[in-house]
Copies of this chain bind each other. A is one copy, B any other.
């Protein structure tokens, strides 16, 4: 009932039942081909197996239902696949592997396939932020600390920060997708014993067939990869949440400095411009810390296969890919759709009667006179009385107190455009 909100974007498809089924079959197919490469079975046998590894040929619901008996879905999958393969090749299905090999490898494939669209959406979101940074490089707005107006900033600088946060997490996720989503093959307890001498060659060929890195050791109870993936997704969600929260706050009726062009109204309250995309992005991003904590807590996996902590990963890993993917997809919509209102920004800069410039007055005039002016009921008049109308107007012009905002925007845009 909530998938349109909580499972936005394409990442969700990869973690569906069909996605998991195909990923497990891909692992079985890669295993068969690796066995052939290593000379354990013939190429024909391998292709007979690999040719059967097509999700549509299997009853995903039946396999899922049968997973309860053995405690994982690979046991019924192996049975179904064996039945689906004709001739003697059937006897080689799953050879040398244990259930965890197939499921862990499938998890890596599922993660990779969820990350691909997620990374696309993240790139689009950060690019949209970059566009805002460029377009509003010199648009003054109130800088707010502790939700109080403090000194002027630019909307470009704020947007450049959004871009930086998103892009840093994108680069990490991308690196992790390429380097850390490794194949898993160890056999019953990680020694590859049932493959005899051929073990290492099979393991190498398996990784190659999958297009995944081969790990130094089978990683069945070394869950750092899962922990890192969970972390990078959670940090990405955190970067999304920062941006989305800013958008929601800037969209408030009383602030109204940005709005989502397609933001939802209400039939009876048409004046509302609910920033639906940012709100949903926030809601999805909030899922990440708890899910990541569950995965990090499950790293204490016993001996050669954990009694519970392994099984505990499946749901939260899928949920975390889905919720982060959804958060990113929503944020992309929000940012690609965001309309800034420089006039309202300017008007809000005047909300404190020039006191937003108090720091400048302190620094540039200083002394007890400046302090008295800061406490005057009419700050502008008090400053003008001190330094004259013209100088006061200059001093109190927010656009004249933007410090290095423009230079910082330029630097961020250059940096994130250059290194990709």
Contact = CB atoms under 8 A, between A and B. Distances in A.
A37 interface: no
B64 A193 contact: no
B6 A315 contact: yes
B300 A285 contact: yes
Contact of A358 (B3, B168, B269): B269
Interface stretch (A111-119, A120-128, A380-388, A402-410): A402-410
B268 A363 contact: yes
Interface stretch (A28-36, A45-53, A150-158): A150-158
A279 B308 contact: yes
A246 B2 contact: no
A63 B314 CA distance: 28
Given A157-B191, A227-B234, A272-B146, A289 B279 contact: no
Nearest to A411: B216
Given A2-B67, A200-B407, A304 B271 contact: no
A341 to B, nearest CB: 13
A400 to B, nearest CB: 10
Given A191-B404, A271-B149, A245 B300 contact: yes
Q: Is the interface of A mostly helix, strand, loop or mixed?
A: helix
A147 interface: yes
Contacts of A253: 142, 144, 147-149, 351-352
A315 B199 CA distance: 43
Contact of A6 (B149, B291, B314, B375): B314
A9 to B, nearest CB: 11
B363 A194 contact: yes
Nearest to A60: B1
Nearest to A63: B1
B292 A292 contact: yes
A144 B351 CA distance: 21
Nearest to A322: B315
Interface residues on A, range: 35 or more
Contacts of A284: 312
A255 B149 CA distance: 11
Contact of A286 (B227, B312, B351, B404): B312
A339 B418 CA distance: 51
B151 A189 contact: yes
19 contacts: A1-B64, A5-B311, A6-B314, A143-B188, A157-B191, A164-B217, A164-B222, A168-B224, A194-B359, A228-B235, A231-B235, A235-B299, A238-B299, A252-B254, A267-B362, A269-B355, A269-B359, A287-B294, A289-B296
B2 A314 contact: yes
A213 to B, nearest CB: 13
Contacts of A356: 271
A186 B101 CA distance: 45
A293 B231 CA distance: 10
A13 interface: no
A364 to B, nearest CB: 9
A11 interface: no
Nearest to A106: B1
Given A285-B300, A296-B288, A280 B189 contact: no
A377 interface: no
A296 B145 contact: no
A2 B405 CA distance: 32
A64 B351 contact: no
Contacts of A279: 71, 146, 307-308, 311
A73 B1 contact: yes
A372 B25 CA distance: 31
A238 B123 CA distance: 31
Contacts of A403: 187, 191-196, 199
